[in-house]
Structure formats: C-alpha cells, structure tokens
A and B are shown apart, each in its own frame.
Chain A
Amino acid sequence: MSDADDTVADAGFDDWLDAAEDGAAYYLECPEDHTSLPPRRVCPDCGSTDLEELALPDTGEVRTFTVTHVPTPAFEEDAPYATAVVDFGPVSLTGQVVGIDVGDVETGLTVELEISVSETTGERVIGLRPA
C-alpha cells in the first residue's frame, strides 16, 4: 500500500467514524421517512436529495452473526473474530463484535457502537460491544 493510501481519508466513511468516536453517530432520513446509512447524497428508495442527519439509537440488536476463521490478510491476526449485522431500528450496520468471547455471541444480543481497531493493521473498524 502506498503512502497516499495510508493518509487519504475516505470521505463519508472516515467522517462517519470520526462522528461515531465522538458519540455522534448518525443515519439519514428523507422527507418520505426512508432511512439509510452510509452517508450519501441521494435517498436510495426515492431519489430525494433532501437528507437529514439524525442520531443513531444508542443500542441495536444482533440480527445475524458469523465467526470467521479464514480471514482476508487485513484481519489475519484478528481471527477468529465475530462479525454481525445489527439492527439499530431505522438502519442496520455490519461490524465486528468486541468485548465478548466469540463463542458467547448470539442472535438478539444487545450491542452498542464502539469504534475499534484491527489487531492486524491498526485500521479503524466498526465495533459492536455488548451493552
């Protein structure tokens, strides 16, 4: 990876992680009440460009999860790790479940957002910690 890759942020994604680290994670809502995440310019449901940022609920519930034993190189030292799709109400998010033994993760578990880091690369990761 070049220096440029290491230093140039991904607008939208990194901004959102910054906000989440400040306890200000958000999702988007259009006038038709369609909700979405990630940050975007256009409502994927109706095409509205009038999108309002609203605070993401503090906790969500695990809809499904997996424990990955064969990772990509970016998570080589993290494996085995649990990844979950979490329902926060208006939107769902995919993240890594942290702060719990991977064997104890279960569907329905209540979690809160906590930006974590990959043990392999030190890059920030969307983390989900039992609430």
Chain B
Amino acid sequence: MSDVRVAGTGLTPFGNSPERTSRDLFAEASIAAFEDSGVPREDVEGVLYGNFMGELSEHQGHQGPLMAEAAGVQAPATRYESACASSGAAVREAVKRIRTGEDDVLLVGGAERMTNLGTAGATEALAIAADDLWEVRAGVTFPGAYALMARAYFDEFGGEHEDLAHIAVKNHENALSNEKAQYQSAIEVSDALEAPPVSEPLGLYDACPISDGASALVLTSESYAEEHDLEAPVAITGTGQGGDRMALHDREYLARSPAAREAGDEAYADAGVSAGDVDLAEVHDCFTIAEVLALEALDLEPIGEGITAARDGRTTADGETPINLSGGLKAKGHPVGATGASQIAEVTDLLAGDHPNSDHVADATTGVAHNAGGTVASATVHVLEVLE
C-alpha cells in the first residue's frame, strides 16, 4: 500500500480576527500549502474541507465548492463535519482515496470562524457537538461536559486541579516560539489555579480559547512525489478512526476515551508501529483533562497515570515524549474545523525539522496526531513518519 506524502502545509495565524471570513482564512492557508509543496493547483483532483459551525457563524452551508473556489482549485469538493474532528476525518478520507489509487493529489484542510459569535454565541455553537435534547437542554456546555469527565477522573484515579494546571503551563511554554499561536505568553501554575471557574473543576486556563483560523495540506501519492521530485520527506503511514455513544451518560467509562483508543490501535497497526515508537504527538487538548485522556487512550501513558505526565516532566519539550510542541489547542488555539489538519501540519513540520520547536525532537522519526470530536464520540488518529 502506498504511503501518502505530506507535500505542503499551510496555516493562518490562529486567533482573534472576527471580521475575516472562513473563505479568506482558507485561501490564505491554501496559498501557503501550495507554495510549500511546489505542486501546481491544476494537479489537484479533489478538495476535502473540514468545518463545524459554518451555518451558525456565517449562515453558510455547502462550503466545499466555496472553499475550492477560494483556494483557486477547479476540482470536486466536499465538506466534512465531525465536530472538532472535522478535518481529522477529512484527512483520513483523503489518505484512503490516495491509497486506493483513485487520486494522486488532494487539497485537505479546514477553517472555522468563531470569535464573531462572541463568548456566549460560541459557547452555544460548540455545545451542539453534544446531544441537544438529552445533554444541552439540561445545561451541558462543552466545558461542562469535560468538567464532568475531569471530576470522574479525579474520583476514579486521583489527581487534582494543580496537575491539570501543569498541562496548561507546558502548552503555553511550547507556544512561545510558534508565531501562528493565539497565545505566545507564559503562564504560571498559580495563574491557572486562580483563574475564574468556567465549569468546576475546570477554570479559564483549563480551556482552549475561541479562535479563528484555517489549515491546509497538499497530500500526494508516493508515485506523484517521486515523479515530480517533491521534497516531501514526511508521510502519513497510519490512519484510524473510532466512535462512541453521543451522550456521555450512555458510556461505560466517564474518564476514558474508547473511541480514541480504537482509532489509535487502528492507526498504529496500519503504520506497523507501537506506542513505544512514538517520538512526539499533537493531541486534542481542548481542555487540559482531554490531554490526559488522549495520552492514556494512545498508550503513551498507563490508564490513571496520564494526569502526572506534564507535572513530572514526561511530556514537556525536553521530556521523553513531548506532547503538543505546537502549544496544542490550549495555547495555539482551536478554530474547530481547522484543528485536525493543523495537527498534521505541526507534526509534519516538527519531523521535517521545519518547526520552531524541532530542535527539541531532532532525532524524531515518528509522530502522532490525535483529533477528537465532542466528548470523543468521534476520534481520528494519524501516524506520520520520516521516510527519507
């Protein structure tokens, strides 16, 4: 089976740009991805685009062809929606299409415009990733859902808010050199502990920000990369997807993510690697507790022990397995539909030595990207490797 080359990556700055439309954001990301790849637009055979709340934030459905047009690509285009895992799902479908030989070049990515909704509006829009009738109507917000999981984790395995604070501190530290990150500011553990509560036990510094931004990737087949002599040393060698019941209360475990485990196991097997081979990972830390659940689901930490990983230095930039060297969703930002493909971009750049934090992982050859939707009723995991 052919590996899928990441020929080009492109990101807009993530942050607060309420006036910018998602078509403008995606255009910028795609220009960067095409320039990085050296692939001409006319070779693109399809556009796979992730977006979650476009109907609510921009009154815009049918965004696939709109984004192809914005990117200057004349090819069929489809929007993928899987809440916060939207562009992770788009990447996975692109990988499958290239592997079957149906396509050689695809433009994949995503965008989200959120800050124009304001905090209350964005909170409402994000909440629709949960079961509207049986969760949201009882007052469950997105932070609220993760707070339910955080308390369940503390009750089952121990841990405290201060452990979570160390995750926020780590991810802010990692973002200091990432010029695309929303927050390039260091925080202290005390800042996180003293921040106003959002949904107890989670506070403001446990939550990713509300962000605008876009991501784009040019993915090609192995044969196309060779024929065109592309400089594309990093390949997506494994893909996996998992699913779970929509509502948290319908799950056997409140403090685990079986969908992410399913996705991770599939992706590892697909790539022929194991968790022990992973040198770095970008995981979906929409909330600090989510990073803990992700590490455990990916077997990067034993169940019940991920809570101390940041505090004890195992996942910091100079730890055994650096996690979220980009700053993660927490500090880099989380323009929902852009996030999954942005993680692939970050892992690619880290492995290729093109990332401001690449020096921390100079010998790394294997990276993982973990993208989750809702309270992880959807998850995609991709394994990326340096092939040359």
Contacts and interface: CB of A to CB of B under 8 A. Distances in A.
A26 interface: no
B134 A38 contact: yes
Nearest to B147: A66
A95 B199 contact: no
B139 A125 contact: yes
Interface centre among B119, B141, B149, B249, by most A CB within 10 Å?
B249
A125 B248 contact: no
B124 A72 contact: yes
B142 to A, nearest CB: 9
A95 B138 CA distance: 5
B56 interface: no
A76 B133 CA distance: 18
Interface residues of B, number: 36
Nearest to B152: A64
A44 B388 CA distance: 46
A36 B250 contact: yes
A81 B149 CA distance: 17
A44 B138 CA distance: 22
A71 B141 contact: yes
Contact of B141 (A10, A36, A37, A70): A70
B138 A68 contact: no
A67 interface: yes
B245 to A, nearest CB: 7
A92 B140 contact: no
Nearest to A14: B133
Interface string B115-156: 000011101100100000111111111011001110110010
Given A66-B144, A85-B254, A107 B138 contact: no
A122 to B, nearest CB: 13
A117 B137 CA distance: 10
8 contacts: A67-B199, A68-B143, A70-B143, A71-B139, A72-B120, A72-B141, A92-B249, A96-B139
Given A70-B198, A73-B120, A83-B140, 4 more contacts: A63-B249, A66-B144, A66-B202, A83-B139
Interface of A: 10, 12-13, 36-38, 44, 63-76, 78, 81, 83-86, 92-96, 107, 118, 123, 125-126
